[in-house]
Structure 1
Amino acid sequence: MESNSSVASWRTPALTVIAPVAWGSTYYVTDAFLPSDRPLFAALLRALPVGLLLLALRPALPSGAWWWKSVVLGTLNIGAFFVLIFIAAYRLPSGMAATLTATAPIAMMAVAWLLIGERPRLASISAAVLGVSGVALLVLRAGFAVDPIGVAASLGAVVMSSFGYVLLKRWQAPVDLLTLTAWQLVAGGLLLLPVALLVEGAPPAIDAGAGFGFLYIGLIGTGLANYVWFRGLQRMPAASVSLIGLLNPVTGTILGVFLAHEVFGPTQLLGMALVLLGVLLGQTGVRRAARPLLLTILQPVLRRVGTTTTACSDRNNCRLAAQQLPVRGEWVGHESNAAEPAHPGPVRAP
């Protein structure tokens, strides 16, 4: 029984691995099959068609607050994220862009602590440092020039997606995950549509090779990858999921070695070992803070605003109003503890 439970507890991380592996494979597919001068059009075709396909399979539209929440998530996780990633890819050497992107676990841990109270353990922080170091050894090369715009775009994409992923954990969607994924892809794709047309003009001609490439990065590199990634975010701590994402450059490197005959030596082997060690070390979980760090920082302001704006007819009413302000362990602006918890808890079987 204990053995079965152990296997089940690793099922969600194992499925989540599909996402960075699929993303890592898109580097080779993009370079080998897609037009090299139409990155925004490629991003558009990654998001919108597969989003519409998923929406056809799950024909449900957002309602109420989920209209704007879907737009926010689609912008942070898909639309604006893709734009910044392509800016970074065009202005930075691939090794430097990958190394900057590898700081995503650190950013996501900070945002998760800030917004949903997931305080990372020392093991998770150490794993992130190992991962960034490993990616740097794996892909970084000497003799590159630093482009400030490219660096800003790369780090902006990291921060933006970190907020998007953590908000996805905090906001409890009233629909199944497939529908939620469709909403984000459609929202992000619709955001990309006018940008791609304005910057790159009419869509290019697509031959058989490009058609295969777009089909692959749409269905596998975006649809399937985002579904299992969002599934992992719902079921696992943000720190653990973010560290699994470090397998992205590892996959890209392996495919580059075997399919494009890229150089692979002892330095790259050491880097890959550090990344894998960081991913495994990062699955040890997080400590749950009493409440999000942001509320701890804003607590004095919240109390002062609450006590000064509450209409008090006498001293007893003022005392009662003050007692109703948030205390340690309570969340402001979120469901009560009696309802479904905002954080799904430790890794569990799907």
Structure 2
Amino acid sequence: MNAVTTRGALLAALACVLVGGSFTANSVLGAYPYAGGQFLRYGLAWLLLLPLAGKGSIARLRSLAPRLWGRLVLLAAVGMVGFNLAVLAAERTAEPAVPGVFVGCAPVVVAVLVPLLDGRRPQRVVLYGASAVALGAFTVQGWGRTDGAGIAFSACALVGEVGFAVLAVPVLRPLGPRLLSAVVCGIAALESAAAGVLLDGSAWLRRPDTVETAALLWQAVVVTVIGFVCWYMGMQRIGAERATLFSGLIPVAAACTAPLVGTGSYGPAQAVGSALVGAGVALGSGALGTAARPRLPRALRGPRRPAPSAPGRGGGAPDAVVDSPSR
């Protein structure tokens, strides 16, 4: 892998490890109103991300087409608020491993969906790697008790995980990772507030206690601000297909940190699953030298510019596509 690809892989990996290590924070928020917690998390993240958005942010937002604004609203609703709500609803009748297994299939879905939407065929090496990641995630988590509702909401969580990557592709280049993260957090905060008022009435928001405050701060600052920016910076460099491979690190990170807080153990199954996830990521991302240079979707590629004319020829050479992500 070249320097840009390596940096993108490391950023995507860091983002997913932060999410996986946040399960402890989630466990202490079980009694806090869901929508209120999401509102505080995304609202604080929005405030922290605004100064990082960079110069010209207002101009970039004004130039955004209405259909892209629709994508941003859908991204926040499906990939953030809806995803978290689906996981919470699934865990009411299913053990946490069940939605985890469904979400672990996201690399396979993205590896097929993104190329098809871009008018090209899925790459076999990426598909093989994604399949190994999904199998590894299943091995780490196992299966658990569930019912029809648990399976249905787990499938909705899978849709949310896929949407978080796929819906961002057309808006990532015009906005950049930091402004994109800020905008979707602001939208998600408004959507969370609306959902809270509709579902919980006046009880949708209360003052968190000391432990809940610490957990919400961790989610807002570490998982959302740092995690989202790293995720989209990584996706900008290696594409949604390869970036989503690293989501297999989420259950691995959760399994590795669980013994530290006494909420689980790390045994042979977790070790085998972790190895499968690592092998799948290495294979699909090209770290083993088996995959071609990542081909970014059209929405993430740089503008076309003409190559210099060849000496001794009257015409110019064909246009060269320059992958130069904005910063």
Q: TM-score, normalised by structure 2?
A: 0.80
Letter in 1 for 2:85: V
Assess, with a 3 A threshold, how the Cα gap between structure 1 residues 209 and 337 changes in structure 2: closer, same or farther: closer
Q: 2: distance between equivalents of 1:229 and 1:13?
A: 9
Q: Say whether residues 1:21 and 2:17 are aligned partners.
A: yes
The answer to whether the Cα contact below 8 Å between 2:111 and 2:130 also exists between their aligned partners in 1 is no
The answer to whether the Cα contact below 8 Å between 2:41 and 2:219 also exists between their aligned partners in 1 is yes
1:195 to partner: Cα distance: 1.0
**Equivalent residue for 1:277?**
279
The answer to whether the Cα contact below 8 Å between 2:79 and 2:161 also exists between their aligned partners in 1 is yes
Q: Say whether residues 1:48 and 2:43 are aligned partners.
A: yes
1:109 to partner: Cα distance: 1.4
Q: Say whether residues 1:206 and 2:202 are aligned partners.
A: no
1:182 to partner: Cα distance: 0.7
**Equivalent residue for 1:38?**
33
Q: For the aligned residues, what is the CA RMSD?
A: 3.4
Q: Say whether residues 1:177 and 2:177 are aligned partners.
A: yes
Q: 2: distance between equivalents of 1:218 and 1:334?
A: 27
**Aligned mate of 1:95, from 64, 77, 97:** 97
Letter in 2 for 1:189: A
Assess, with a 3 A threshold, how the Cα gap between structure 1 residues 339 and 69 changes in structure 2: closer, same or farther: farther
Q: How many percent of aligned residue pairs carry the same amino acid?
A: 22
Letter in 2 for 1:121: Q
Match runs of 1:190-205 below 5 Å: 190-200=190-200, 201-205=203-207
Gaps of 5+ in 2: 307-318
SS of 2:121's partner is strand
The answer to whether the Cα contact below 8 Å between 1:12 and 1:232 also exists between their aligned partners in 2 is yes
Q: 1: distance between equivalents of 2:195 and 2:41?
A: 14
Letter in 1 for 2:227: A
The answer to whether the Cα contact below 8 Å between 2:103 and 2:161 also exists between their aligned partners in 1 is no
The answer to whether the Cα contact below 8 Å between 1:118 and 1:286 also exists between their aligned partners in 2 is no
The answer to whether the Cα contact below 8 Å between 2:48 and 2:225 also exists between their aligned partners in 1 is no
Q: 2: distance between equivalents of 1:159 and 1:23?
A: 18
The answer to whether the Cα contact below 8 Å between 2:173 and 2:300 also exists between their aligned partners in 1 is no
Assess, with a 3 A threshold, how the Cα gap between structure 1 residues 99 and 191 changes in structure 2: closer, same or farther: same
Larger CA Rg, structure 1 vs 2: 1
The number of equivalent residue pairs is 301
Q: TM-score, normalised by structure 1?
A: 0.75
1:164 to partner: Cα distance: 4.3
Assess, with a 3 A threshold, how the Cα gap between structure 1 residues 272 and 74 changes in structure 2: closer, same or farther: same
Q: 2: distance between equivalents of 1:8 and 1:232?
A: 9
SS of 2:50's partner is helix
Assess, with a 3 A threshold, how the Cα gap between structure 1 residues 335 and 18 changes in structure 2: closer, same or farther: closer
Q: 1: distance between equivalents of 2:153 and 2:121?
A: 27
Q: 2: distance between equivalents of 1:158 and 1:241?
A: 16
**Equivalent residue for 1:165?**
165
Residues 152-176 of structure 1 deviation map (CA, whole Å, 9 limit, x = unaligned): 2222232244244223223454334
Assess, with a 3 A threshold, how the Cα gap between structure 1 residues 174 and 43 changes in structure 2: closer, same or farther: same
**Aligned mate of 2:267, from 228, 251, 265:** 265
Residues 222-281 of structure 1 deviation map (CA, whole Å, 9 limit, x = unaligned): 111111111122111322111111100000011102221523322221111111111111
Name whichever of 58-67 and 46-55 sits farther off: 58-67
SS of 2:21's partner is helix
Residues 85-135 of structure 1 deviation map (CA, whole Å, 9 limit, x = unaligned): 322233321111111110000111122022124533222222222222212
Q: 2: distance between equivalents of 1:265 and 1:335?
A: 43
Gaps of 5+ in 1: 293-330
Letter in 2 for 1:240: R
The answer to whether the Cα contact below 8 Å between 1:115 and 1:166 also exists between their aligned partners in 2 is no
